[in-house]
Amino acid sequence: MTQEQAERATPRTARKAAVLLAIGAVFLIGVLVIAFTRDTQDAQSPLLSRPAPEIVSTTYDDEQFVLSRRKGSWVVLNFFNSTCVPCKREHPELVKFVEGQRAMGSRGAELYTIVNDDSEEAVRSFFAGFGGDWPIIRDDDARIAVDYGIAKVPETWLISPTGVVAQRFTGQVTAELLGSAIAAMSGSE
Amino acid sequence: MTRLRSLVRATPAGWLLIAVAFVVLMVIGSQRDSSPATPQERVEAVARRLACPTCDGESVSESRGTASQAIRQEISRLVAEGMLSDDDIVAAIDDNYAESLRLTPGSSGIEALVWVLPVAVGGVALAGLTLAFRRWRAPNRGDVSTQPSEPVERRRERSSGARTRVAISVTVVVVLSVIAGIAIARNSGERRPGQVMTGGSGEASITSLLVEARSLGMADLETALGLYAQVLEQEPDNIEALTYFGWLTVLSASQIEDQVLAAERLESGLVLLRQATIVDTTYPDAHCFLGISFFRFLGDAEAAAPEIDTCLASNPPAEVATLVEGLAAQIEESLGGSPTAPDDSLVE
Amino acid sequence: MLAVGLNAAVGRGAVLLGVLACLFGMAITIAGIRKNDQRALKTSTRYSYLALFAAVAAVVVMERALITRDFSLAYVQQVGSRSTPALYNVTALWSALEGSILLWILILAGFIVAVARKFRDRVGDELLAWAMVVLYIVGLFFFLLAFGPANPFELGPSGVTDGPGPNPLLQNHILVVFHPPILYLGYVGFTVPFAFAVAALITGRLGEGWLLETRRWTLYAWGFLTIGIILGSWWSYEVLGWSGVWAWDPVENASFLPWLTGTAYLHSVLVQERRGMLRVWNISLVIATFSLTILGTFLTRSGVINSVHAFAEGDVGPWLLAFFAIIVVAAIALIGWRGDELRSPGAIESPVSREGAFLANNFLFSLFAFVVLLGTVFPLIVEAVDNRRLVVGEPFFDAMTKPIGLTMLFMMAIAPVLPWRRAGEEVLRTRLFWPAWSGVGALVVALVWGADGWMSLLAFAFGGFAGGSAIRQLVLASRRQGWRGLIGRANGGMVVHLGVILLSVALVASASYTRSQEFVMEEGETVSFAGHTFTFEGLSVRSDSVKSSVVAAVRIDGEQIYEPSRSKYLAQGMDIGTPSVKTGLRHDLYLTLEGNVRPDDSQARIKVFVKPLILWLWIGGGLMAVGTVLAAVPTRRRTIPAALVEESTTVGAGKP
């Protein structure tokens, strides 16, 4: 009697457990899929629509770079690290973007790569291997990364010709995305 | 058995002694001061609550990177000053950065979920466990079985009543667990003070003045000129203000009817532009505008040529470059031919 | 010139061989099951030997390439270097993603062969056959990874003659030789009980047979995982310079999660053996353990979560995620399908019983795992929903896991004295009396040594309580059986418990009572801190082919000199600080050299950490390892399960 009752008393434990586990698993896998396929996001930042924090640094070609002097151009800042997977994946897109902007002549946007906490050799060899001849800006003391609040590379920032932070992209970008963003915002200016 | 001996046996008295000893010792221990003794330890404690902004999820205390060293120095400075509490130091540093650096999830909003969920799940699971135990125990306790003799309807009633009871108790447990979770979130999560944007420093105001003036463009010369004038009051050597004040002055000259006043205005604008080129010879915009002014407003191609050359060699930004586009060719042409009349209508 | 492509070709060929071996093994085994063809089943196990051969060949070729510095391979270009010492070139095999997959394959193939050999007499058994199928499928997946997206034998750009070498942190300590392989032995080892669990579900033979088959395999895997994690902490302590042993880093959590469910499984399985209950729990736990190893592999290799430990590259992310999804979905489907048959014939009569304790144990460990998993993936959730970056760090994990840990310590004290079925109050009162006094004693000792804080004190008290309980069991067992009282599952388990208690107490002490101070010292200056004196005796420079270091000489207590340093690694341009540690029974003195030091500086910034009881962390870990070995020694069985013919396993065991 006891055994029967015990059996009746625990009906379908396995099925219930399976359903619960299934819900949990679906949720977990869903989150992972979203996180993994999420490429570019329009990210928030308290700096949006505010003056871009000043950058004073040198490039890998030992030239001085001052951000405020580039007012009048669209400036694209790409925060990069030679070991980050999405950075490497988006690099050909950046090359394409630069080519497109150069084709527009003097009206084109300017792209700068900012490197913090990486070895110069690794970055140089990366650019040598994958192309790209735009200026690379040093950020050895992390001032720039900290001022812009960079947490995870890659990040791409669009600075308008008046020196205002127009947009911030976290994650990989494409040439198309950058180009159309700039075009849209230039039109409204 | 003597009293004393009963204390060292597993008797109720013995257990009571253990309980008393335990409580007394815990009380003694909890009263002791356990706050950080050295400033360094306080820095470590604060650093453990902040994430390094450029690292992969490490805390400032673990990371050896340059950004965390910078933050640790800042924390040391604030600790040495001794005026702010730990919470205030965390808030002060966190506010400087665009992204939140706090390693403890917040006490409200979606972040509180990470506190609430485990407590809620734990509570529900615990309730389920108790339920399961009760169900298992019931058949074993009730050897005196009354069920078979009950009429069928009464049995069904009882089971449906039991089901509603179960449903109610499940809901109650879930609600209680969630409330407990929220309470823990409120207690342990980081409270976020309102975001305070620092904007009072002189440097920031100059930047915003410049940005505002730049956004007006050449649409509203008077206001822009006023803004640049303000900048120059604070920082007479500000290269951008000098240059653009000069350039806008030059442009405004062309709008003046009176020829004499216009010429004066033009001259003062040029003076400013020249000053700008002296303050910083590498600033392209100043040279570009000088060149444009010489060529378009004064018709002086010879003076314009070297300025335009310097301008183009200094990598001017896009807006200025487009203004100068084609100018170099025109200047060359006119140097080969006769000087052209000044063109007042050129304001783009 | 021929040799240039040789390594790549042979290596790739070996991997392909492995793919085919697993594929054919799987196919033939399935065919054999379908047609009940004994011969097919017998030959199918031979394919495991082929897979092992392929794996060994691939690893040997890669090691050869690393040792001979064959820079035609992209992988060697990445992690090999002419100037790294030979040993570190060998360990460079597992210092980056593609090579680590090779290591995984090697160990997995080894396990598959071991299973094939161990059960060769029962090769016609359907359960075993399905287990082999599952093993072949997992092997096939990893071989495919090494053939496709994580190809280690890919040719790099030609003309490269030197490389940067492995990450500096992976070439300055001997533990790099041990930690990854041992950790992988743990991870991969869990594939075996997983395979048998799935086979049991498929064949519907859910009795105790499969459990007993794999009992020792699970124990070994668990043991390796435990040692691997502890070695990782030790390595991190010795090398990184922040003086901590655990950072709740996502990769660390990824290794901890399977440990949690694995531990729960090891305990809960006893209930199934003894009374045939908690079957759903056990199947779920063993499947969860394996799934979590795959999830962990995904998290560390996909770039989804940032971590300093993460392998920084690769396209394996989608593959691993898909594999994880397939496993989880398949497992849940199987459990749901066979659910009815999993229902156990018994019931837990009283919560105050051994079974009740183990059920509560399952619940505690699952909750712990849930907290760690939630905290690890929560940044992803917030990012998905709110488009905001968030880091969940130590404060959260500490706050959430401490109560659970305390409860576990308490359970560790009580559970060993609980009898099966039902415990009377009398029993508990007597059996727990002296352990309770040892708890009080531990509290006194802690207070005398200056401890404070109610949570830490509670941990010490419960630790003493649990320790007393474990020692009591061992004493009773050895009184009954002499030296045999120390071996066997129950007694070995008590030794492991002692190790865990030591480790927990040490963790609490070092987390709560670490003292630190930073000193700017002139040459010849002496400072005193925490009862010790430190004399800075000057800086010196040491350099070799790989790095150039500025070394500070610090004399502690007027006796020995300790040398924290900062090194610049020439190839990668990275600046790494190396701490110097004086170990002691009561505390470690941990010294680091801070800041940008130049060799001609007259002052140095020396940071001193006083870390209590760190040595006991490693001792506790060692005790856990010893206990695991003791637990694995076979003893006289009290009951002989019906459906099993126990094969003699290890030497020197007594057979029933």
Question: A31 and A45, same structural domain?
Answer: no
User: What are φ and ψ of residue C588, in 5° steps?
Assistant: -100, 145
Q: Residue C581 pairs with which residues in a beta bridge?
A: C590
Kindly report which listed range (A184-188, C401-405, C435-439) carries the lowest average pLDDT score: A184-188
pTM: 0.80
- Is the pLDDT at C423 greater than 60? The verdict is yes
C 116-175: CB under 8 A from A: 157, 164
Which among A18, A32, A34 has CB closest to C335? A18
Please write the tens of the pLDDT for every residue from B232-242.
888 888 888 88
- B118 → closest Cβ in C359, C367, C429: C367
pLDDT band at A3 (very low <50, low <70, confident <90, very high): very low
Q: Are A29 and C338 inside 8 Å of each other by CB? A: no
Whether pLDDT at C324 is above 50: yes
For an interface test with B, which of A59, A83, A162 has the most B Cβ atoms less than 10 Å from its Cβ? Answer: A162
Top residue of A83, A146, A159 to mutate, by most chain B CBs within 10 Å, is A146
Token pair for residue C362? 């399952």
Out of 3.20.20.100, 3.40.50.300, 1.25.40.10, 3.40.50.11900, select the CATH number for domain B202-336.
1.25.40.10
B237 against C624, higher pLDDT:
C624
* pLDDT of residue C312 exceeding 60: no
- Reported confidence tier of residue C310, pLDDT bands at 50, 70, 90: low
**Across the interface, which of A68, A74, A140 has its CB nearest the CB of B240?**
A68
pLDDT of residue C314: 57
Question: What is the DSSP secondary-structure string of C220-234?
Answer: HHHHHHHHHHHHHHH
In a shared domain, residues A48 and A25 = no
Distance between CA B101 and CA B104 in Å, rounded? 9
**Who wins on pLDDT, A48 or C146?**
C146
Residue C337 has pLDDT above 60, yes or no: yes
Q: Which pLDDT belongs to residue B34?
A: 67
Lowest mean pLDDT among B248-257, B284-293, C190-199, C501-510: B248-257
In sequence order, which ranges of C388-488 are alpha helices (DSSP H)?
Answer: 394-414, 425-431, 433-448, 454-481
Do C97 and C168 touch, CB atoms closer than 8 A? Answer: no
**Mutate which of A1, A32, A123, A130 to test chain C, going by most C C-beta atoms within 10 A?**
A32
**Is the domain of A24 the same as that of A67?**
no
**B155 and B147 in contact (C-beta within 8 Å)?**
yes
Closest-CA distance, B26 to chain C, in angstroms, reads 7
Interface mutation target, options B50, B52, B54, chain A, most CBs of A under 10 Å = B54
Q: Cα C520 to the chain's mean position, in Å? A: 39
Those of residues 66-105 in A touching chain B at CB distance below 8 A are 68-74, 105
Amino acid at C460: F
Distance CA C94, CA C621 (A): 24
Cis peptide preceding C157, ω within 30 of 0 = no
Which among C168, C380, C361 has a CA at the least distance from the CA of C263?
A: C361
pLDDT digits (tens, 9 = 90+) for A17-44: 778 788 888 888 888 887 776 655 666 6
- And the tokens for C401? 């896991």
Same domain for A15 and A71, yes or no, is no
Is residue C503 predicted with pLDDT exceeding 70? yes
Q: Kindly report the nearest CA distance between residue C429 and chain B, in angstroms.
A: 6
Residue contacts between A and B (CB atoms, under 8 Å): 118
CA C93/CA C152 separation, integer angstroms: 10
Do the Cβ atoms of B335 and B305 come closer than 8 Å?
A: yes
Out of A17, A36, A120, the one facing C321 most closely (by C-beta) is A36
pLDDT above 70 covers a percentage of chain C that reads: 93
Residue pLDDT, tens place only, B4-54: 666 667 778 888 888 888 888 888 888 877 677 778 888 888 888 888 876
pLDDT band at B200 (very low <50, low <70, confident <90, very high): very low
Residue percentage of chain A with pLDDT more than 70: 85
3 state SS of A125:
helix
pLDDT the model gives residue C257: 95
Q: Render pLDDT for B111-132 as a digit per residue (tens, 0 to 9).
A: 888 888 898 888 888 888 887 7
Domain co-membership, A18 together with A64? no
- Touching subunits of A (3+ CB pairs, under 8 Å) are B, C
CB contact under 8 A, C446 and B129: no
By residue range, what is the domain housing residue A30? Answer: 2-37
* Cβ–Cβ gap A151/B99 under 8 Å: yes
For the cut 70, the answer to whether the pLDDT of residue B142 exceeds it is no
C368 vs B108, more confident: C368
- Tokens describing residue C121: 């007499």
Q: Determine the angle formed by the axes of helices C454-481 and B12-31, rounding to 10 degrees.
A: 140
Half-sphere exposure of C42 (CA within 13 A, CB side): 4
Confidence at residue C637, expressed as pLDDT on a 0 to 100 scale:
56
Q: How confident is the model at residue B153 (pLDDT cuts 50, 70, 90)?
A: low
Q: Are residues A117 and A76 in the same domain?
A: yes
The confidence score (pLDDT) of residue C184 equals 92
Structural domains of chain C, with CATH: 1-166 (1.20.120), 406-513 (no CATH), 515-614 (no CATH)
The closest CB to that of B211, out of A73, A141, A164, belongs to A164
Interatomic CA distance for residues C228 and C194, integer angstroms: 20
Question: Rounded to the nearest 10 degrees, what angle do helices B86-96 and B66-81 cross at?
Answer: 140
For residues A29 and A87, state if they share a domain: no
Residue in B97, B211, B283 nearest the CB of A149: B97
Looking at the structure of chain A, the number of domains it has is 2
Q: What is the mean pLDDT of residues C481-505?
A: 88
Other beta carbons within 10 angstroms of residue C158's beta carbon come to 8
In chain B, where the domains are located:
39-96, 109-141+151-188, 202-336
Neighbours of A102 (CB within 10 A): 14
Mean pLDDT of the B295-312 span:
85
Q: Give pLDDT, residue B198.
A: 42
Distance CA A182, CA B331 (A): 32
> CB B144: neighbour CB atoms within 10 A?
5
d(CA C266, CA B23): 35
pLDDT in the model for residue B201: 45
Average pLDDT, chain C: 85
3-state secondary structure of B210: helix
Chains that touch B (3 or more CB pairs under 8 A): A, C
CB contact under 8 A, A29 and C339: no
Per-residue confidence (pLDDT) for residue A119, from 0 to 100: 75
- A24/B contact by beta carbon, under 8 A: no
Which has the higher per-residue pLDDT, C291 or B34? C291
| Closest residue in chain A to residue B320, using alpha carbons only | A72
Tokens of B253: 């000259």
Quick one: pLDDT at residue A11?
54
Mean pLDDT, rounded, for C505-525: 89
Residue of C nearest to B122 (CA): C367
Interface test with C, best of A5, A15, A82, A85 (most C CBs within 10 A): A85
Answer whether residue C407 shows pLDDT above 90.
yes
- Comparing C-alpha atoms, which of A146, B50, B51, A119 is closest to residue C576? A119
Average pLDDT value for residue range B57-69 = 78
A116 and A74 co-located in one domain: yes
B-to-C residue pairs, Cβ atoms closer than 8 angstroms: 165
Residue contact B210–A68, C-beta within 8 A: yes
Please tell me whether the interface predicted TM-score (ipTM) of this complex is above 0.85: no
Predicted local confidence at residue B341, as pLDDT: 47
Q: How far is CA A156 from the centre of its chain?
A: 5
Q: From chain C, pick out residues whose CB is under 8 angstroms from the CB of B21.
A: 440
Query: Is A94 found in the same domain as A49?
Result: yes
Burial class (CB in 10 A: 0-12, 13-18, 19+), B290: buried
Per-residue confidence (pLDDT) for residue C625, from 0 to 100 = 94
Residue C313 confidence (pLDDT): 53
pLDDT at A6: 42
Q: Is the pLDDT of residue C223 over 90?
A: yes
Q: Name which of C370, C440, C515 is nearest B38 (Cβ-Cβ).
A: C515
C313 vs C127, residue with greater confidence:
C127
pLDDT of residue B93: 80
> Distance (Å) from the C-alpha of residue C517 to the closest C-alpha of chain B?
5
Predicted confidence (pLDDT) per residue in C118-168, tens digit: 888 877 788 889 999 999 999 999 999 999 888 888 887 777 777 777 777
Option in C240, C391, C444 nearest B57 (CB):
C391
Q: How far apart, in whole angstroms, are the C-alpha atoms of residue C280 and residue C276? A: 11
